[in-house]
Structure formats: C-alpha cells, structure tokens
C-alpha cells in the first residue's frame, strides 16, 4: 500500500479521490436507469418479467414471481444446521440491539387544557432490496428486516434477483423467513426498485425502500425518492483504521483487507502516527493479498483507493478521520475510548483490537447499513427510526386559546395572511 505523509495537500487529494466513488458521479448510467423506471411504471409486470429475462436469464411470470412456502422449505433443507444456528444467534443480537431504539408516543398536558404530544406510527409497508446473483448476503437480510420488524411495520416485502433457474439463494430465503419477511419476490436491479416504488400487478407499492445494491439500484433509489422514501443512496464500502504505535500491524492489515475485498471501488485507509507501523502494515498487506482468494479484487481496490497516511500527532490523525467520515472506523490506540470521544463523523466505530469490522457486519447487533462517501457527517446507520413516522398532537381548550389568540392573529397579520388570522378571530367574536 502507498504510504504518504498526512498534510493539507494529501488530505485534499484523498477527499477528492474518494468523492469520485459517490453515486452522484454515476451520470453515465442515469439514462439507462430512467428508461427502466419509465418502462416498469408504464408496462408494470410485463416490463419486470422482460428485464428479469434480459438481465438474470430467468423465466419469471405472474405465477412464479413470488417465493412459495414450498421453496422456503426446500431452502431450509439446503442450508447447513450450523449456519442456521449462527443466523438465529445473529438475528437475536440484532433484535435486542434495535429494541433499545424503540420510540413511543408521548403527551404533555397542562392545567389550562393544553395538550401537546407526538404520535409515533410504524410505516405500513416497506420494501427491502437484497442483492443476489453470484453472492449471497443473509447478513443484509437480517440487518434490513429486523429493525422494520422491531418498529412494527405491518408488511415487509423483500425483492432479490433470481438465478437462471428462477430460484433464490437458499441462505437468503432462510434468513428472510427467520427475520419475518411477509412476501418475497424474484426480481432485482433497477426494475425491482421501480416495481416497489410504483407497484405492478404482482408487486404492491411500498412506502419506503431500504437495502444495498449495485450502481443501477443506487441510482434507481435516488430517482424514485419522492414517490417513496428511501434509506440512503449507498456507495462502495470503506474502512478507516486510526492507529498509533501500540497497534498490531497484522490485525490492522487484515481489517483493511476485509473491506477492500468487496469490490474494486472499495476504500481502505490507515491513518497512523507511526511510520514503523505504516511500513509493517504495508508489508503485511502484501503478504495477505498473496494468500487470500479475492486477491485480484483486493489489489485493484488498494491500487485505486488504498492509502496509508502518517500524521505528526494523534490529533491530526483524528482531524483527518473526522474529515473523511468513513463508513467503518476502527480505533487501535493506547487509549481508544478517549479517541472515540473526539470522533464526530463515522458510520460505525469499532473500539480496540478485538472489535474488528466483520464483528459489526455479521453478529454484534448494531446495523451494518451505514452512511458512505462522507455522508456520516449528516446521516446515521439504518435503525428503527427509519421505519416509523411521527405526527404532532395539538389540542387547546377555549381557555388556553383565549389567552394567546391575539398573539397568533398579530403574527398572521404580519405575514399578510388574513385568513389565518380570521380562523382564530372567529372563535372570539365578542372581542
């Protein structure tokens, strides 16, 4: 991995480089995505079936687009019992963590008859997108469905692309059933996002779409925002390790590569105060790349977006981490909890050398759907909050309104909204 001195110039160049990975830079794909969205909106099922044949090679129609109970039973027979046990343990951890995020309606009443409050309501129907094809992501199934279940969403619709045989990966189906998906449809890509956003004869329209996907899925979600809500427009995966001379270079190198193996646009960055650690990590990375099965993808990722930055001080390293605002941030320093208090921007923070990123991806409980491309400065991980909405509650007695009606009328008149003022004034004709 390249080793650079951290200064204002290298930081500026790095940030500009990372921004090129943002879905906002995928303009050349937008026309293709728009064509798919328009087709599905107008031709509905017919377009969905045609695109599934074109992109996935599967013959899907109205009679087989929805996964059946028999297919789910078959999936269980194909998944090893030990893996099923792990899925169930992970599901429980995710459920327990997200239970802590529950919000409840509240009301505040006063002696004059004023009642103010907030009504919390779960979304009625949510769509969950799960990538398919050659890879299977049961962890993403759990992470996207469980907070919706905890929030109390009435109906959870999952979509995922089928294989050429028209079947869904068994581990994906088992995880979906364990998590509580109500319906599962065999459709992926931008056409799946369009079907969820607009509705078709087979697939019902949802209120919100969540879940990761490729460039086409990301742009489709961005395009349908407004017809439905979305969680975020996710970019390629990324990790930043913040370390000093106490860190284990073997651990740091392994953790950097855990994200670099995702794809060639993934980013892996080490920011350290130790040149000695930087050199040891770089050498260890080279050794691991030769051993790991996805070595070619990892090497291209590192060539494109892999960096080791050496800072003069720990505070300089922390400032850089806050500016980069990485999806995953690992802290491997002598006093990691002190460093954690100075971190403002990160999707998920992993503290200490035994809290490696895959712990969060699969098992610990916090959500692994995280903000990318610097959006951790203003976005949060997927949570129960994403599956609820809030309504304000206002109730005034005559006594309470009488005491302040003049103030409201004056405010309305100042804005030249006389009908607003009149709406209050007609209730007190005697004044």
Which of the residues are catalytic?
327-328
Q: Rounded distance, CA 41 to CA 47, Å?
A: 9
Would you tell me how many other CB atoms lie within 10 Å of the CB of residue 341?
A: 7
Terminal-to-terminal C-alpha distance of the chain: 79
- Residue 145 tokens read as 């469905």
* Backbone Cα Rg of the chain: 25
| CA distance linking residue 9 with residue 367, whole number of Å | 34
- In degrees to the nearest 10, what's the CA dihedral of 135, 139, 140, 144? 160
């Amino acid at each position: 991995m390249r080793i650079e001195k951290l200064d204002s110039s290298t930081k500026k160049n790095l940030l500009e480089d990372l921004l090129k990975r943002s879905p906002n830079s995928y303009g050349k794909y937008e026309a293709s995505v728009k064509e798919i969205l328009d087709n599905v909106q107008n031709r509905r099922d017919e377009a969905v079936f045609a695109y599934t044949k074109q992109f996935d090679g599967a013959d899907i129609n109205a009679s087989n687009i929805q996964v059946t109970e028999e297919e789910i039973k078959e999936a269980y027979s194909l998944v090893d019992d030990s893996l099923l046990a792990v899925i169930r343990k992970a599901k429980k951890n995710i459920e327990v963590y997200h239970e802590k995020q529950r919000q409840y309606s509240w009301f505040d009443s006063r002696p004059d008859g004023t009642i103010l409050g907030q009504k919390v309501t779960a979304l009625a129907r949510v769509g969950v997108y799960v990538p398919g094809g050659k890879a299977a992501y049961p962890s993403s199934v759990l992470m996207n469905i469980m907070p919706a279940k905890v929030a109390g969403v009435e109906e959870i619709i999952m979509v995922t692309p089928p294989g050429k045989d028209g079947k869904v990966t068994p581990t994906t189906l088992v995880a979906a059933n364990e998590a509580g998906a109500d319906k599962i449809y065999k459709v992926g890509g931008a056409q799946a996002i369009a079907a969820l956003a607009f509705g078709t004869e087979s697939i019902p329209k949802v209120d919100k779409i969540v879940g990761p996907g490729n460039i086409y899925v990301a742009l489709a979600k961005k395009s349908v925002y407004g017809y439905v809500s979305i969680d975020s427009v996710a970019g390629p995966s990324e990790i930043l390790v913040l370390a000093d001379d106490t860190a284990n270079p073997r651990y740091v190198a392994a953790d950097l590569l855990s994200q670099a193996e995702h794809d060639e646009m993934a980013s892996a960055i080490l920011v350290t105060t130790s040149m000695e650690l930087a050199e040891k990590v770089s050498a260890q990375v080279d050794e691991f790349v030769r051993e790991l099965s996805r070595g070619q993808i990892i090497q291209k990722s590192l060539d494109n977006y892999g960096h080791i930055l050496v800072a003069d001080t720990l505070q300089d390293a922390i400032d850089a981490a806050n500016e980069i605002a990485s999806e995953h941030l690992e802290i491997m320093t002598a006093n990691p909890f002190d460093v954690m208090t100075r971190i403002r921007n990160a999707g998920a923070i992993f503290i200490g050398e035994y809290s490696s990123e895959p712990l969060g991806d699969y098992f610990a409980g916090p959500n692994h759907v995280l903000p990318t491309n610097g959006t951790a400065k203003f976005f949060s991980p997927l949570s129960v909050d994403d599956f609820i909405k809030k309504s304000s509650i206002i109730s005034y007695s005559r006594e309470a309104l009488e005491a302040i009606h003049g103030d409201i009328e004056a405010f309305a008149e100042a804005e030249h909204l006389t009908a607003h003022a009149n709406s209050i004034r007609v209730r007190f004709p005697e004044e």
